[in-house]
Structure 1
Amino acid sequence: SSGDFVPALEQFLGSSAGLSPATVTRLTAQWQADHTAFQDRDLSATDYVYVWADGVHLRIRLEEAKAAVLVLMGVRADGTKELIAMTDGYRESSEAWAGLLRDCARRGMRAPVLAVGDGALGFWNALNEVFPDTRHQRCWVHKAANVLDALPKSAQPAAKRAIQEIYNAEDKEHAARAVRDFERAYGAKYPKVVKRITDDEDELLAFFDFPAEHWIHLRTTNPIESTFATVRLRTKVTKGAGSRAAALAMVFKLIESAQARWRAVNAPHLVALVRAGARFERGHLVERPEPLAA
């Protein structure tokens, strides 16, 4: 059971001195079996309305330095957050992400309404192939870092505030105006940097078409970042994680135990309305779907 599993896991991570090699082998085999079962489970009864995608570098005995863990997390129709899939691959690889998404579709996953991720991910091409109706939202944390890195140090504080004006705007109209302000302020000197925002404007402002209570959840991939921040901390100390599959399985078990503490999204009752096709303007419900339209 996962109850007695967690202290064993922490002990294993802290120092494997307290566990016999046989115990570690047995635990590792169990984790891998659990991860495999998780990756094969039926998804047809679960409806993920929103999803976050990211490729996370774990620094645990990777055979290839660039290989990451591809993570898909979702919000179910009842507003709870859940890990959907986790496998290894390259962040930038459309093929790796397409493999993951095709596998989810094969196991019965429906197209999410909105997907959130970093623009550099190979995920977007894969999403267009597997779930072409899903809308795209670019992560603002990744985007802001990407824009600020391209500016001289002296320009960064003001530019950071100008970017925050966009994603913290009170509605989509004000956000679009803030994009124009940003363009006016930086376009003459840094046209390439400004294009990083204007070229992706639709995908950066998509979250404004959803309930206002959900905006904070939908404009970044923070749910993945914050989960993996704790995993990273605890996997760094492991010397003998063994094979890549064992390391992945260990990370899966850590996330599985963390998942019990994840909070549902704000206003969870609105998630089902989003799935049903309700329209939101300025973050507020304007049109309930026809009950027969289902």
Structure 2
Amino acid sequence: MTDHNNFDFEAFKQAAIKGLYEGKPLTGEDGLFAPLLKHFLESALEGEMDNHLLQSRVSEQNRRNGKTTKRVKSSAGLLDLQTPRDRTGSYQPQLVPKRQVVLTPQLEQKVLSLYSVGNSYADISQHLLEMYGYTLSDSELTAITDKVIPAMREWQNRPLESLYTLVWLDGIYYKVRQEGKVVTRVLYSVIGLSLSGKKQVLGIYTAESESAKFWLSVLSDLKQRGVEDLLITCVDGLKGFDTAINSVFPAATVQLCIVHQLRNSFRFVPDKLLKDFAKDLKGVYQAPDREQGMENLLLVQEKWGHSYPKAVQPWLEKWELLSPFFEYPAAIRKVMYTTNTVEGYHRQLRKVTKTKGAFSSDVALQKLVYLTIQNLQVKWETTTYNWKEVINQFSIIFEERIKPHRFD
């Protein structure tokens, strides 16, 4: 028979009443409720052990084998719990699992919530000190935030829809510590627009630098997870990107981002001339059709090409990849010729990650980005603006390619 019922409630009551008169807190570090909570928890663990022995005795000769002390954080402060052990080591505590150092699920949820909006471990500790009267060490906070890793892995490998009307692909740079040095890493972002008009982050990937070769592995991953077709992809001007996309999704239209190209060109033109130059370029990408766009580009070349070749030449060299949007109606053009969607997503990530100097690892970076995406997904539940008109046009232009796929 165990002694977990031998708790002196009378002595506890007297001590608690005395403590109240002395102004001691009920909860928090050294709170008056700590002994009672400790008793309840230890009684529950002993009850678990009794039940475990009863169930395992049929198949094996198992019995108690002393106790271990485990320190946990709770709403009543720090507690040293006496956890029973069994001879075979088959008992797994349910109430306070082996590696759990914090008792309340609400507290863990609070930590994850603070972490997901960009608070550092120091910020979170300070917050917990103010709210609950104790702090958690960096390693304890890591243990809590690491709980999202299995969910993150599952999310990263989840099956995707068979077709996306539009996919934006871009990279964003971060600093990560590696073997004592701070190195630059690229976080690859892939955002898809589904047939129901909703945006989804399809995956997060990290690599040392942005390259067409790595994008190839990203696109292959999308295919393995069930994507059969991409109608249109909107990308930055990375060399070889179009070849990488078409080797995995041969029918996809590759559109270079006009906004990226404009920014690159503006870097080579003096500020005082920028307004005029931008106005002339507008005549190129806002032309009614591809032929008129090309004519207007030749006029830009004539006027500006000699003085600022680096601002104009890329438009001519990349015209095949910059001009596909002309083939589509205005509603689709508006969605496809800019990576605004992915840039808006990157702004959200920066908001959350700007407090970080360098991440401790790729996983630490991915963990925070994953939590940010979960927060963003709520906002993204709304359908894309003007979607009915856009999807009607997609359905006419890509009728044969859309037909085999589920359409809500």
Q: 3-state SS of the aligned residue for 1:52?
A: strand
Do the aligned residues in 2 keep the contact of 1:60 with 1:235 (CA within 8 Å)? no
In structure 2, how many angstroms separate the alpha carbons of the residues matched to 1:291 and 1:105?
A: 16
TM superposition score normalised by structure 1: 0.83
Tell me the C-alpha RMSD between the 2 structures.
3.1
Please give the secondary structure, in 1, of the residue aligned with 2:370.
Answer: helix
Q: Is the 8 A contact 1:80 1:264 kept in 2?
A: yes
Matched with 2:165 is 49
Q: Which residue of 1 aligns with 2:387?
A: 268
1:39-82 Cα shifts (integer Å, max 9, x gaps): 11112x44211100001113465766332101111110111111
Asked if 1:158 is matched to 2:314, the reply is no
Q: Which amino acid in 2 is paired with 1:141?
A: V
How far is the alpha carbon of 1:185 from its aligned partner? 1.5
1:196 pairs with 2:314? yes
Q: Is the 8 A contact 1:69 1:88 kept in 2?
A: yes
Q: 1:257 aligns with which of 357, 367, 375?
A: 375
SS of 2:184's equivalent in the other structure is coil
Gap change, CA 1:96 and 1:272, over 3 Å in 2 = same
Query: Do 2:169 and 2:191's aligned partners in 1 also have CA atoms closer than 8 Å?
Result: yes
Q: Name the one with the larger helix percent.
A: 1
User: Which is greater in Rg?
Assistant: 2
Q: Which residue of 1 aligns with 2:186?
A: 68
Report if the CA contact (8 A) 1:28-1:246 is conserved: no
Distance 2:324 2:354 in 1: 36
Moved more, 34-43 or 18-27: 18-27
Counterpart residue type for residue 113 of structure 2? V
Q: Give the equivalent residue in structure 1 for 2:150.
A: 33
Is the 2:186–2:210 Cα contact (8 Å) retained in structure 1?
A: no
TM-score (structure 2 length as normaliser): 0.61
Matching of residues 103-182 of structure 1 within 5 Å: 103-120=221-238, 123-182=241-300
Contact 1:74 1:84 in 2 (8 A): yes
> Matches of 1:292 and 1:243 in 2, distance apart?
41
Partner of 1:282: none
Asked if 1 retains the 8 angstrom alpha-carbon contact of 2:173 and 2:186, the reply is: yes
> What is the distance in 2 between the residues matched to 1:16 and 1:7?
7
Q: Deviation at 1:237? A: 1.2
Q: Does 1:16 align with 2:133?
A: no
Aligned 8 A contact 2:169 2:189 in 1? yes
Give the Å deviation of 1:162.
1.6
Give yes or no for contact 2:167–2:230 (8 Å, CA) kept in 1.
yes
Unpaired runs of at least 5, structure 2: 1-105, 129-135
